[in-house]
Amino acid sequence: MRLVLHILCLVFFLSSCKTPEARRPINIKSGSFIDESISRNKELAAKEEARIQKIINNDSAHNYLASQTGFWYFYTKKDTISGTTPKFGDIVTFNYNVTDLNGNVIYTQQELDTITYRIDKEELFLGLREGLKLMKQGEMVTFLFPSYQAYGYYGDDNKIGTNIPLITEVTLNTITKESTTEN
């Protein structure tokens, strides 16, 4: 009897010690949402860039330049003597206004007042942050930003809505080099 009890215990012990099985997910996600989102964003960018290109083609009065980061601009007032542009950490003061591609004013220069900004160390929308780095003191530049270079999907939680391409006219007043502000 004891032998049978030991054998049963041994069989029970060996059968209960199996390796754990991996749990399978209930729902299997395929990543199609991300693929669809990428497709929608590419289509939106293409439409916005086509609208901007149409504005550029219809404006023979200005010589538009394309930036390396995906926006277009022209100089209203250009400094051909100085070679100094703001770099990381420099402090700039500037004024600007914001309109949509149809020319409707969103923010005036008076509403926005003079902005003091430390290059790449403070918050500013991507296109304007990159555009300021192209400017020299005293220059006036008009930028055309697709929405992904402006406020994108979120807008500014005030007057600029979702996926709105923008035109900004910017005047760079001063550039103060970082090295002179730290001494």
Q: Is the pTM of this model over 0.85?
A: no
User: For the chain, which residues make up each domain, given as ranges?
Assistant: 64-182
pLDDT at 10: 67
**128, containing H or E segment:** helix 126-132
pLDDT at 80: 79
For residues 137 and 140, give the distance between their C-alpha atoms in angstroms, rounded to a whole number: 9
How many CB atoms are closer than 10 A to CB 3? 7
pLDDT at 14: 64
pLDDT tens-digit profile, the chain (183 residues): 777 777 776 666 666 656 677 777 676 666 677 888 889 999 999 999 999 999 999 999 999 999 999 999 999 999 878 889 999 999 999 999 999 999 999 999 999 999 999 999 999 999 999 999 999 999 999 999 999 999 998 889 899 999 999 999 999 999 999 764 444
| CATH number for the domain running over 64-182 | 3.10.50.40
Strand pairing of 91-100 and 72-77?
unpaired
For residues 63 and 142, give the distance between their C-alpha atoms in angstroms, rounded to a whole number: 11
pLDDT at 183: 44
| CB-facing half-sphere around the CA of 51: CA atoms within 13 A | 17
pLDDT at 22: 73
Strand pairing of 105-107 and 115-118?
unpaired
